[in-house]
């Protein structure tokens, strides 16, 4: 692991509470990762925990490794968690006192002691990536998370606390940003994000998902764009373009991108028929919009359950590589 690098040239001007930033020489994509992202999940859990360590090893040992700066996140604090969550739920989780019913609804079982520090580091990685783009603009990523099924006072579907909702609320309430878009392209609906942010007008939730998939009782996002089971690249990318248009029109000063790759045809949970190339195209369409409009963006990994898991790793490799390439273009625009 390397220590975080800092941009060498930096000026920050403040206009109407919106920070306008200029980033200098460092154009590498900052990514947050901690070994506990993998090790904090029990080896016998159904969740494919090895995807995290496999992905980081692939990126570190590949020809694109020079495009990234890997950082280790600190733990999020209780005060940060309660920005988006019920205090009772947070305290019960931290004390290891969730009921069996609550734990079962989350999954990731059997739990180990490390599930608590894992959850805190996971949220810490999201917050660190958020802090980075607030301070320096550009793109940053957390190599996990996108925990969109976590609701205000309960977790579900492998999600304990909602990093997207917490980051959106932090950005609006603590960093005084004006408008945040949560662009959720995971194949499952971002139901927890939609419910936590349902009365927050300055946070726009956009969820592109497969209709006949978990969660079976859908929440109401600001925009739910629905795909039928079996949708292919063409159907998918048409809807992606539509979502990007909606995001753009909101004129956000931050995008939180949930970039789940469980829409791949090889995914065991996804039900869609999207190719690796289609998924890569999707990400490039998102990043083109982000660069064209210089919108600071945090990338969250989201779901991916291909069998074999190597297809998921391939697609996430493509994701972070595309983010790194976009970040170079982004920072060069800021330098002009
Ligand atoms: Zn998913």
Q: How far does residue 209's CA lie from ligand 1's centre (Å)?
A: 9
pLDDT, residue 46, reads 87
pLDDT, residue 169, reads 98
120, 126, 132, 135 alpha-carbon torsion, rounded to 10°: -90
105-139 burial, b if ≥16 CB within 10 A, otherwise e? bbbbbebeeebbebbbbbbbbbbbbbebbbbbbbb
Q: How far does residue 48's CA lie from ligand 1's centre (Å)?
A: 13
Residues, beta carbon < 5 Å, ion ligand 1 = 186, 188, 260, 262, 303
pTM (predicted TM-score): 0.92
Q: How far does residue 227's CA lie from ligand 1's centre (Å)?
A: 14
pLDDT, residue 77, reads 98
Q: How far does residue 29's CA lie from ligand 1's centre (Å)?
A: 24
* Phi, psi dihedral angles at 275 (to 5 degrees): -85, 170
Q: How far does residue 112's CA lie from ligand 1's centre (Å)?
A: 23
Residues of the chain with pLDDT under 50: 1-25
Burial class (CB within 10 angstroms; exposed 0-12, middle 13-18, buried 19+) of 12: exposed
CB 211 within 8 A of CB 228: yes
Q: How far does residue 262's CA lie from ligand 1's centre (Å)?
A: 6
Q: Residue ranges per domain, the chain?
A: 10-335
CB 202 within 8 A of CB 172: yes
10-335: in CATH 3.40.800.20? yes
pLDDT, residue 297, reads 98
| Nearest partner of 18 among 209, 213, 269, 295, judged by Cα | 295
Q: How far does residue 27's CA lie from ligand 1's centre (Å)?
A: 30
Q: How far does residue 45's CA lie from ligand 1's centre (Å)?
A: 17
SS3 state at 272: coil
Q: How far does residue 42's CA lie from ligand 1's centre (Å)?
A: 20
């Amino acid at each position: 692991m390397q220590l975080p690098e800092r941009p060498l040239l930096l000026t920050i001007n403040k206009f109407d509470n919106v920070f306008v930033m200029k980033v200098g020489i460092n154009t590498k994509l900052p990514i947050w990762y901690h070994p506990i992202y993998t090790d904090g999940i029990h080896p016998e859990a159904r969740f494919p925990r090895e995807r995290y360590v496999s992905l980081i090893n692939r990126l570190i040992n590949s020809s694109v490794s020079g495009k990234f700066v890997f950082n280790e996140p600190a733990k999020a604090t209780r005060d940060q968690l309660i920005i988006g969550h019920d205090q009772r739920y947070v305290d019960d989780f931290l004390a290891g006192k969730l009921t069996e019913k609550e734990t079962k609804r989350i999954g990731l079982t059997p739990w180990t002691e490390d599930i608590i520090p894992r959850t805190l580091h996971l949220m810490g990685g999201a917050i660190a990536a958020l802090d980075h783009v607030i301070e320096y603009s550009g793109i940053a990523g957390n190599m996990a998370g996108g925990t969109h099924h976590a609701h205000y006072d309960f977790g579900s579907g492998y999600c304990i606390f909602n990093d997207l909702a917490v980051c959106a609320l932090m950005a609006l309430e603590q960093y005084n940003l004006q408008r945040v878009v949560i662009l959720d392209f995971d194949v499952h609906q971002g139901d927890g994000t939609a419910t936590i942010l349902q009365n927050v007008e300055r946070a726009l939730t956009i969820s592109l998902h497969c209709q006949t998939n978990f969660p079976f009782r859908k929440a109401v996002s600001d925009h739910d764009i629905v795909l039928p089971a079996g949708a292919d690249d063409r159907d998918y990318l048409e809807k992606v373009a539509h979502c990007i248009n909606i995001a753009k029109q909101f004129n956000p000063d931050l995008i939180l991108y949930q970039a789940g790759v469980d829409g791949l045809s090889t995914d065991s949970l996804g039900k869609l028929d999207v190719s690796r190339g289609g998924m890569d195209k999707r990400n490039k369409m998102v990043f083109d919009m982000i660069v064209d409009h210089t919108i600071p963006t945090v990338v969250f990994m989201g779901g991916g359950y291909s069998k074999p898991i190597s297809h998921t790793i391939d697609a996430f490799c493509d994701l972070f590589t595309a983010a790194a390439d976009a970040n170079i273009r982004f920072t060069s625009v800021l330098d002009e």
